[in-house]
Chain A
């Protein structure tokens, strides 16, 4: 059997602030295979974003083991982590985080112009257009964010996440700022990526969107449990 894409074992994250330390993640176990889609649901403040930031190497767990495609990366140094973020992960957030002084195409190209390897301009443009096409907005390539709707902006963000062909897509409430219909389009675009073998971890408050994922996991006070299909 091949290694799963992501395997978390006993991941804990403790927040050390001014007050006494608070455990945000408490022994999380999670396995995600290639092409699989997983929804994570839970109350606000339950630690969903924290879990995503550990998976996406924005942050490191305090204990537990993290294997990415069979490799233990629990303690990778920051240089390597940056490289892995570039090569393995794509991110989509509730807010779109587009740079307003750049066009849609330049915003997507940002993930290619990150100091990790170099693509000539022509190839860069082809990849960017391909990614924009995947989410259906290639015709908006030259527009700046200020002249796009929320749904269009979020799809630019998805194109940015997809442009390097990541192994895993991490989405933190990507439909939170969109109406139901537009939100459904965004979920479509994310699910389309899983058909190409990309893993998808979606944090959402929306039952319908969660229901479209292969599995649903509940996060409650830092403890992750699989929801048994009714």
Chain B
């Protein structure tokens, strides 16, 4: 222990003396390595941010990884079974999608077919035998109405699809169902409401009457199409499950992974002769190949830049050892073990590498913050991003690897200097 600490302190003093005597060289090593480490940090940060953004988007639209999805045709008996089975359970939510038109009665919606507001899916064209097409006016003239996918929920779906609230409130499932259904819009639907002065009247295929919904909030659900969310029990006041079959309805149950409810539900549904399709959300796995390839390409590029940096540090390191031949021979002459000298040379480069890594990470953190502040508002991907810790780790590792690669050969050289050099000089 005593011997070890003596060696350690000796090398600390010798190393610091060496660095202090060669500040400029140390700086030059750092400059040559800086770009390499920065490249690694930037690539890792970029990959992590892109991956997170991609997965976050998929989480919104498809669901959190591991979520079990049971799809089934919207038959009335299926709806009954689903609603009764899920009643009082918190590990599953049923979603029922129907199309609805909100706005002036008796007009064609501005986005017929439920297209994004700025796109026209060209719904409602009538084509004749001679190839001539013209807008179908049988549904009346185009007016202040918007077609949305209306998704009715039996519970809070955000445990599977983590919507982010943009304004107003989310649906409250704990209160008594209201006769005027409360709607939460997604951003695309909200855009339509903003642009066209749409009266709050809603037509749903199969409903007994037109509804007067209350709009209570806007969320981001990652969807490009206009959508609205409503409590199923508020919708069924107006739309009986028996009328679900029409209007392109779709029914789906989202379940937590490994819950017995799944077994109960599918058994009941199959017993009633309803076909079910069960799947698991595996966004990460599906994207893994692309993500890995993307990383591989960028890392090879960063590795190349890092290699150039290592060559630089190696070059400076060898020149330094060449310059210090006399010093090392002398230190060996006064009894410094050769391994200690090799260790000191390695430690000096390693320290340079780590300092460079720290500088590169610092610059990248500051750069990301600046970019996020400057253009984060127009680039949602860069809005309010955090510096990913993986990038910091990658930078430190790059610094260590470069320090070892760049310091190893000079260290060997230093250890091999014969002491007699001093006498012949």
Q: Which of A's residues lie within 8 Å of B, judged by CB?
A: 49, 52-53, 56, 58-59, 78-79, 82-87, 91, 93, 95, 97, 99, 101-102, 106, 110-111, 113-118, 160, 172
Contacts and interface: CB of A to CB of B under 8 A. Distances in A.
B331 A53 contact: no
A97 B330 contact: yes
Contacts of A49: 420, 423-424
B125 interface: no
30 contacts: A49-B424, A58-B333, A58-B422, A59-B418, A59-B419, A78-B337, A79-B337, A82-B332, A82-B335, A82-B338, A83-B337, A86-B334, A91-B334, A91-B422, A93-B422, A99-B327, A101-B21, A102-B17, A106-B17, A110-B330, A110-B331, A113-B9, A113-B10, A113-B13, A114-B331, A114-B334, A114-B336, A115-B7, A116-B336, A118-B10
A79 B7 CA distance: 13
A91 B333 contact: yes
Given A49-B423, A97-B422, A172-B423, A85 B333 contact: yes
A190 to B, nearest CB: 17
Nearest to A157: B330
B2 A115 contact: no
Nearest to A58: B419
A53 B419 contact: yes
Contacts of A82: 332, 335-338
A85 B14 contact: no
Which 8 pairs of residues, A with B, have the shortest CB-CB distance? A86-B335, A118-B6, A101-B21, A58-B419, A114-B336, A115-B10, A85-B335, A111-B334
Contacts of A118: 2, 5-6, 9-10
A111 B2 contact: no
Residue with the greatest number of chain A CB neighbours at <10 A, chosen from B7, B333, B418: B333
Contacts of A110: 330-331, 334
B326 interface: yes
B133 interface: no
Nearest to A114: B336
Nearest to B7: A115
Given A91-B422, A101-B20, A114-B335, 15 more contacts: A49-B424, A58-B423, A82-B332, A82-B338, A85-B335, A86-B334, A86-B335, A86-B336, A95-B425, A113-B13, A114-B331, A115-B335, A115-B337, A117-B6, A118-B10
B11 interface: yes
B53 interface: no
A90 to B, nearest CB: 9
Contacts of B21: 99, 101
Residue with the greatest number of chain B CB neighbours at <10 A, chosen from A78, A83, A106: A78
Contacts of A56: 333
A97 B328 CA distance: 11
Contact of A83 (B11, B13, B335, B422): B335
Interface of B: 2-3, 5-7, 9-11, 13-14, 17, 20-21, 326-327, 330-338, 340, 418-420, 422-425
Contacts of A79: 337
A160 B9 CA distance: 19
Contact of A97 (B326, B337, B338): B326
A161 to B, nearest CB: 8
A13 to B, nearest CB: 11
Residue with the greatest number of chain A CB neighbours at <10 A, chosen from B9, B10, B21, B334: B334
Contact of B336 (A84, A87, A115): A115
B112 to A, nearest CB: 82
A190 B364 CA distance: 60
Contact of B335 (A87, A95, A97, A102): A87
Contacts of B6: 115-118
A46 B332 CA distance: 25
A111 B17 contact: no
Nearest to A86: B335
Residue with the greatest number of chain B CB neighbours at <10 A, chosen from A84, A93, A95, A110: A110
A59 B336 CA distance: 15
Nearest to B330: A97
Contacts of B3: 117
A102 B5 CA distance: 23
Nearest to B425: A95
Nearest to B335: A86
Nearest to A57: B419
B11 A53 contact: no
B335 A160 contact: no
B16 to A, nearest CB: 11
A223 to B, nearest CB: 20
Nearest to B324: A99
Contacts of A114: 10, 331, 334-336
A116 B335 contact: yes
A198 B347 CA distance: 37
Contacts of B2: 118
Nearest to A95: B425
A2 B18 CA distance: 44
A24 to B, nearest CB: 12
A169 B341 CA distance: 24
B414 to A, nearest CB: 14
A117 B336 CA distance: 11
Contacts of B422: 58, 91, 93, 97
